[in-house]
Structure 1
Amino acid sequence: MDDVTLAHPLVDAVGPGFVVHETDAAVVECSSERTGLLLEARRAGVVAVLLTPGSSRLTAAMSVMLRRTASTWVVREGDRYRAAGSDVVADDVATAMLAPQTVTRSAAIGPGAVPWVEALVSVHHPASEAATLGRTAELLLAGLADVCPEAWGTVEPATLAWSVAEVTAFARRRAPRPTRLVAVAPTTGGVASVQLRIERSATGVTEETRLVLPRPAPSDGLPTDDDIPTVLADLAQRQRVLLGTAWRTSGHPDATVSAHQLPLPVPLGAVVGAAAVRDLGIDPRTLPTGARAVGPARVPSLVLDPTPDDVRSGVVLSRGADAEARWRRLAQLGDALGPRAVEMLGFGDRR
């Protein structure tokens, strides 16, 4: 493929099928300019390569935007290049992009990183004047960290004072076009990152909330990993949850990720909403251990709890043993609910 030309001020180099945006920023945010570059590159059918030093970190929103646009993150180490999160070293950016990636993943937390809780929840809202947007983020943050979003915006950094009414009004003005927003919430020892995706559906509005919550140290009175299913159950009883998952990962306290390690996510809980329970033909009366019905008996949702039996009994497992046991319990739940449920919740994609 010949070199491509993309008229964008952030393009620093071009190659066969790709363009390069280079930055030395210590923290790479999902700014309006970078978002525009990634979207233009995708529309042009070329790959956008973000080239940074190995010491740079990406915000959670920027990391998601790279994945969503099939873009690539490459780190520069002296005169060498490698794909972020990979041990594969290449002589140039193109080789780094195309080389097979052998990613070392474990449940361990890398240097300088702290535990995270990541949650992804989709909620259905009827197409009515009473529908409000942003409440899922508020409920998740209140349940997990006893905080509320502080600021929001369309790009990073978020600068507008948080307001459910303003978020709702902004999305209404953009309808029927989809809306993507970011928000932040200061927490004890860190900053939580929230991303919202709002779009029309056949029967109303779907709001997807993606939360990254750094938890540098256990805090008295706040939920632990074992309490996450209870937080999800409370959410399912307050809102029309379609699907939701929660995972333990790791990153930096400011909700950024580095290129040095891609940790293995560990399942903490999930919600299968009432509509999915109906579509999957799940009989709540025959639920396996680790799954329970919540909400109205006629149209229940399911909460999946992968907490190992040993942990329930008070046994303290090593991080690696805990991760293995949680994945094993999740596999058992998946076998009981069927392959469509596993595919719907995206469990297999996280390993």
Structure 2
Amino acid sequence: MTKDVIALTPGMPDVWALLAGLYAGGPEVDITAAADGAVIQLRGPGGRPLVSVEAPVLVQVPGEALRLLGSDVPVPFWWTEARASTAVPEAERLAGSVCGRLNSLLGGTTWPPGAATTEVVDISTVPAPADGQPAVDVLTDSTAVVLIDRPVVALTSWLSAVLRTTSPSGRALQIVTPPHVRLSLPARTSLAQIPNRWVVQDPGCGYYDGLSGAVLRWQNGTFAPALTKDGRPTVAEAFADVPPSTGHQVVVAFRTVRPADEHLVLGRALETAWKALTGASPAGWGTAEPVSLPWSPRQLTDLARDRAPEPTHMVAVGHPERPAIATIRVTRTATGVEEDIKLTLGYSTNETPPLEAIENLAETLVTDHGLATMLTSLRRGRHDLTTPPHLEEPPVPHTFTLGPDDVAAVGLTHARRPPVGVRPTQLGPEARPALHYPLGDGTVPGAWTTLQRLTAHIGAAPGTAH
């Protein structure tokens, strides 16, 4: 049974509504703030975290509740998330009472259906010192373990707070889920970073890594691969023995570099790519999931400027009828402002991915948006862009574009003659061109070898740094 309860309300949870929810545990529950005020914790008499309540988020982007919860809720609505600690059985009922009281005052629904109550929960806990973590389930010297059971594990502001807390301490974040749970792309990106891990419960082997399939055991305070006698990891049957997906995903990963001046507006390159491949602009953006803000390059730019010189990480999503999601990392460097963007689009079995639009998109990005590099790939995968806990085929390169600055540094003659059977198309101004290399149709794995030889050739050019 899930330990997360979410209130989806048409009205804003004001101070009085929140107080009614927060006192669902009676006078013995203490209320404290965490994560710079973004999370409110309900604690028992001994200081043990019972329920973490995130600050309500006004979701103005259609399709987010459907994408993450499977519930179609009309926008705008307020998303208030309560997470119960699994260390105390009564905590889950407390989370349900927090959200149920919000629903009784403001209307709307609760996820999961039937979790909402309005009862006062009598809390009796074993005293425990506060550990500074936003209600993780298990905390060791090396690892913070979080148990989650919901349709899609998303990169919520709460989960981002856990990551910000664990990373400086050197701890790994390990999320443990049942086998029916999937990851959103932003959550997958975070859990794919060492030393973090997605741990999947399995009746056959106990636990396995949801991204690699390695069978895991709890060892010395962390989940680690269970090795055979000869020191090799084993792969769980549940991970490998799954039919391949019938959907397709197009992955467009590119980097732009623009001068850092007062006229710079970020997000325009992503918007251009989105329109070229879907016919529409992104629907919304934000720094966590659910993505809550309508698409606005100007607001995105203001946030990045406020956070500079620190990098800014953001997420953008498309309209529900065309699954698309992008991660954006904005960085201030000595050469200007860099945007590292990874746009992924999903297509069902009977749809044809728009690969023919890639070359024209590359030329537009070169001409108008300071393109440095771009790699497009095609892979078989779920068209809803979530990651299931079983084997998926890796992406296969389709094209690679080298921007004009790197072409100039490598030398046009050298860059146009790689030791592979591809010949690039020249893009942009004649005096300072970019080069666009076709690598295949996105279905032949040998394209990885071609890409490796191409990049090695470019890196070996006279005068380039090694």
State the TM-score, normalized to the length of structure 2.
0.62
Question: Residue in 2 aligned with 1:280?
Answer: 410
Partner residue, 1:96: 224
Does 2:278 correspond to 1:153?
no
Match in the other structure for 1:58:
183
- 375, 400, 405: which is aligned to 1:245? 375
- 1:90–1:178 Cα change, 3 Å: closer
1:294-333 mapped onto 2 (5 Å cutoff): 294-307=427-440, 322-333=443-454
Q: What SS does the aligned partner of 2:326 have? A: strand
Alpha-carbon distance in structure 2 between the residues aligned to 1:170 and 1:80 = 44
Residue of structure 2 aligned with 1:116, choices 231, 249, 259: 249
2:294 and 2:281 map into 1 onto residues whose CA distance is 11
Note the alpha carbon deviations across 1:239-287, whole angstroms, 9 max, x for none: 1111221111243232211110132210011221122223334526843
In the alignment, the residues of structure 1 paired with residue 269 and residue 284 of structure 2 have an alpha-carbon distance, to the nearest angstrom, of: 15
> How far apart, CA to CA, are the structure 2 residues paired with 1:75 and 1:285?
45
Query: 1:214 corresponds to which residue?
Result: 346
Q: 1:328 to 1:199 in 2, by over 3 A?
A: closer
Name the SS for the 1:207 alignment partner. Answer: strand
How far does the alpha carbon of each residue in 1:200-243 deviate from its partner, in whole angstroms, 9 at most, with x for none? 111221111111111114557x723x553443233222211112
- Paired with 2:360 and 2:349, the residues of 1 have a C-alpha distance of 20
Partner of 2:99: none
Identify unmatched segments of 5+ residues in structure 1: 309-318, 345-351
Contact 1:18 1:48 in 2 (8 A): yes
Q: Is 1:233 equivalent to 2:363 in the alignment? A: yes
Give yes or no for contact 1:291–1:333 (8 Å, CA) kept in 2. no
Note if contact 1:85-1:260 (Cα within 8 Å) is conserved in structure 2.
Answer: yes
- Equivalent residues of 2:244, 2:392 under 8 A apart: no
| Whole-angstrom distance in 2 between the partners of 1:25 and 1:6 | 25
Aligned mate of 1:12, from 115, 118, 137: 137
Q: How does 1:153-192 map to 2 (within 5 A)?
A: 153-186=286-319, 188=321, 190-192=322-324
How far apart, in 2, do the equivalents of 1:251 and 1:16 lie? Answer: 36
Query: Is residue 199 of structure 1 aligned with residue 327 of structure 2?
Result: no
Once the two structures are superposed, what CA deviation does each residue of 1:34-86 show, in whole Å capped at 9, x if it has no partner? 11112221110111111111211111111112234641111111371111133
Q: Which moved more, 1:76-85 or 1:144-153?
A: 76-85
Instruction: Judge conservation of contact 2:215–2:235 (CA < 8 Å) in 1.
Output: no
RMSD value over aligned CA atoms? 3.0
Local SS of the residue matching 1:232: helix
Contact conserved, 1:11 with 1:21, CA < 8 A, in 2? yes
1:110 CA drift (Å)? 4.8
Partner-residue secondary structure (3-state), 2:436: strand
The structural deviation recorded for 1:340 is 7.9
User: Which ranges of structure 2 fall in alignment gaps of 5 or more residues?
Assistant: 1-129, 237-241
2:87 maps to: none
| Number of residues of Structure 1 aligned to a counterpart in Structure 2 | 320
Change (3 A) 1:34 1:143: same
Please give the alpha-carbon distance, in whole angstroms, between the structure 2 residues aligned to 1:113 and 1:218: 9
What is the alpha-carbon distance in structure 2 between the residues aligned to residue 214 and residue 185 of structure 1? 11
For CA contacts below 8 A with separation 6 or more, give which structure has more relative contact order: 1
Query: Counterpart of 2:192?
Result: 67
Distance 1:140 1:286, change over 3 A: closer
1:82 to 201, 208, 224: 208
Structure holding more helix per residue: 1
Q: Distance in 2 between matches of 1:232 and 1:187?
A: 26
1:232–1:269 Cα contact (<8 Å) kept: no
Tell whether 2:259 aligns with 1:126.
yes
Give the number of the structure whose alpha-carbon radius of gyration is greater. Answer: 2
- Judge conservation of contact 1:103–1:262 (CA < 8 Å) in 2: no
1:223 partnered with 2:344? no
8 Å Cα contact 1:80-1:92 kept in structure 2: no
**Would you say the 8 A contact 1:114–1:251 is kept in 2?**
yes
Q: State the secondary structure of the residue aligned to 1:244.
A: strand
Distance 2:195 2:407 in 1: 32
Which whole-Å CA distance do the structure 1 matches of 2:182 and 2:415 have between them? 47
Aligned residue in 2 for 1:259: 389
Report the alpha carbon displacement of residue 91 of structure 1 after superposing the two structures with TM. 3.8
Which secondary structure state, in structure 2, belongs to the residue aligned with residue 167 of structure 1? Answer: helix
